[in-house]
Every structure is written in structure tokens, then in C-alpha cells.
Amino acid sequence: MPASPPKPVLVLRSLLVVVAIALVAGCAGRTVATPSAPDESILAPAEQALAKARSAEAERFAPRAVDASRRRIATARDILFDAARSSRDLNATEQDRVERLVAAAELDARSALVQTQARAVQAKLAELQGQLGQGQSSQTQQGVSP
């Protein structure tokens, strides 16, 4: 006849099995609430203005304005997601702040676009002035007065 394990070992094994079953049952009964995704449509005007500025290479000619716009959009998005994680709508203060951030981000992006367009105009003007100057100097060299 095989020797049976001592009673304290049986009690410990039984206790471990019960604890394991309780843990599994407790986890199975719990549902994890996933935060709802916030409505980000309020960010659209600023995101569109930023996309337009970036497509015009504003990051190269007006990086500070582009970065300011990007930061404001990110801050507004953070406010939206914080409320969503808490499963609530924005309060009046948050709503006002998001609206102000979006408006400022849109202005930053438009400023970047205008700065970029101004640089493009300056470059074209310099090119035309160079061409005009070359034309005048060649006429002067040929003995033709302007």
C-alpha cells in the first residue's frame, strides 16, 4: 500500500486549488470597460489648415508656426481623450479651452502657410530681378542704353 501524503500537504493543495478557482472565476466575471473614442471632429478645421500648410512645405519655411499648431492640436486632443477615458462629456471650461486651442492652431497653420507663400514670392521676385539685371547688363555691354 502506497504511503498517503501527510494531511497538511492535502489541505494546502486543496486550499491552492480553491484560491485558483476563485481567481479565475473572479476574472471571468469582470468586464473591462474600454474608454469610448471622443468625437474629434472639432479638431478638423485646425487639422485641415495644418495639412494645407505642410503640403506647401511650411515645415521648412515656418517651422515654429507649424510646431505651435501641432502642439495646440495635441493639447486639445488630450483634453478630449481625458474626458472620454472618464466616460463623460466635456464640461464648459474644457469645451471653451478646446475651441480656443483649435482656433489658435488654425491661425498658427494659416500663418505658416502665409509665411511660406511670402518666401516663395520673395524667391520668385529675386529670380526675376536677377534676370532683369542680367538683361540690362548685357544691353549695356552691347552699347545699348536702357
CA-closest candidate to residue 74, choices 107, 28, 40, 39: 40
- 5, pLDDT greater than 60: no
Set of cell numbers at residue 114: 502665409
Q: Is the pTM of this model over 0.85?
A: no
- 7, pLDDT greater than 80: no
Mention every residue, 6+ apart, whose C-beta is less than 8 A from residue 110.
Answer: 49, 53
| Range in 10-19, 23-32, 66-75 the model is least confident about | 23-32
Give residue limits of the domains in the chain.
41-126
Asked if residue 65 lies in contact with residue 58, where contact means CB atoms within 8 angstroms, the answer is yes
Per-residue pLDDT tens digits for 120-142: 899 899 999 888 877 666 665 55
- Residue found under cell 477615458: 85
- 50, pLDDT greater than 60: yes
What pLDDT is recorded for position 8? Answer: 67
